[in-house]
């Protein structure tokens, strides 16, 4: 009796679907992890932003920032067993900037309270920057259009600022700024002349009226090179026309000649 031939085994051409399904599953898991990580980073960044804002407003360094960035820092400069990175040792320059800002916070708080009415009316702005404390005077309040004569009606407000400048030991820079509209008159050939003239007018007022030592004062004219708003609108141009009174951080030295030399020993006669 003849035997039947064995049927050849059917080849399975769909085995690749198993590997493909595993790959899709892993890819899905990867994107889920990436999405979750991005959401966490956003929340952490918002927490850091809120903590820094609170620290600047209240005059201290919030402990919440250190917790978000990696925990506490011990006396050896380590945080969570890390020498570098979040929570670890911080660059010396950043610590110096924080110390400088902390020293100027009381002055900022005093000026903000004393000039509350002027600030609410948009005539003056007070804020901290890494270089120091900036008191920004709007041109529309303190100077006539195209002129450098200080309005006498603003002397009362300027006396409040001048009193603070007189008491502080910091160097002070008076910076004049204009908008981008060119000026050319018999007195001012350009915005450079106008911005410098307004800064000089403020220097003379604080020196003569408030008794601020001229050795601590400096002037700078920036014309329209450092705007704080757009020059495309009237409101933006009004914001750019200003004189910034910058109470500089103590580590900033504009005039090295002011440094006091150590006393030299007087010659002793030989007996």
For 176-220, how does the pLDDT look when each residue is reduced to its tens digit (9 = 90+)?
A: 999 999 999 999 999 999 999 999 999 999 999 999 999 999 999
**Buried (b) or exposed (e) across 194-214, using 16+ Cβ within 10 A?**
bbbbbbbbbbebbbeebebee
Q: What is the pLDDT of residue 130?
A: 87
Residue 190 CA from chain centroid, whole number: 29
pLDDT band at residue 9 under the 50/70/90 scheme? low
Chain segment 97-137, per-residue pLDDT in tens: 556 667 888 888 999 999 999 999 999 999 999 889 999 99
pLDDT over 50 (residue 63): no
User: 132-138 and 242-248 as β-strands: parallel, antiparallel, unpaired?
Assistant: antiparallel
Q: How confident is the prediction for the chain on average, in pLDDT? A: 76
Coil, helix or strand at residue 144? coil
CA count, 13 A, side-chain hemisphere, 160 = 17
114 Cβ neighbours under 8 A, 6+ residues apart:
160
Above 70 in pLDDT, residue 60? no
Q: What is the pLDDT of residue 118?
A: 92
For 210, phi then psi, to 5°, come to: -105, -5
Lowest mean pLDDT across 28-32, 38-42, 141-145, 251-255: 251-255
Residues sharing a CB contact under 8 Å with residue 72, sequence separation 6 or more, in sequence order: 66, 79, 87
């Amino acid at each position: 009796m003849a035997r039947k031939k064995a049927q050849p085994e059917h080849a399975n051409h769909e085995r690749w679907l198993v590997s493909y399904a595993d790959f899709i599953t892993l890819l899905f898991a990867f994107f889920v992890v990436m999405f979750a990580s991005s959401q966490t980073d956003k929340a952490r960044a918002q927490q850091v932003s809120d903590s820094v804002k609170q620290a600047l407003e209240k005059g201290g360094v919030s402990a919440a920032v250190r917790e978000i960035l990696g925990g506490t820092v011990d006396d050896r400069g380590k945080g969570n067993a890390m020498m570098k990175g979040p929570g670890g040792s911080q660059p010396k320059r950043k610590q110096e900037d924080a110390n400088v800002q902390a020293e100027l916070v009381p002055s900022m708080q005093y000026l903000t309270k004393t000039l509350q009415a002027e600030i609410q009316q948009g005539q003056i702005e007070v804020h901290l920057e890494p270089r120091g404390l900036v008191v920004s005077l709007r041109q529309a309040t303190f100077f006539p259009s195209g002129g450098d004569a200080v309005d006498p009606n603003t002397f009362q407000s300027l006396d409040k600022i001048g009193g603070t400048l007189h008491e502080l030991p910091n160097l002070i820079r008076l910076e004049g700024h204009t908008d981008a509209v060119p000026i050319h008159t018999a007195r001012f050939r350009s915005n450079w002349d106008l911005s410098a003239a307004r800064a000089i007018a403020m220097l003379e007022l604080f020196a003569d009226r408030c008794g601020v030592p001229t050795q601590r004062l400096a002037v700078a004219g920036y014309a329209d090179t450092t705007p704080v708003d757009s020059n495309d609108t009237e409101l933006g141009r009004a914001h750019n026309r200003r004189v910034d009174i910058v109470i500089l951080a103590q580590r900033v030295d504009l005039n090295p000649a002011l440094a006091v030399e150590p006393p030299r020993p007087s010659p002793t006669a030989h007996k």
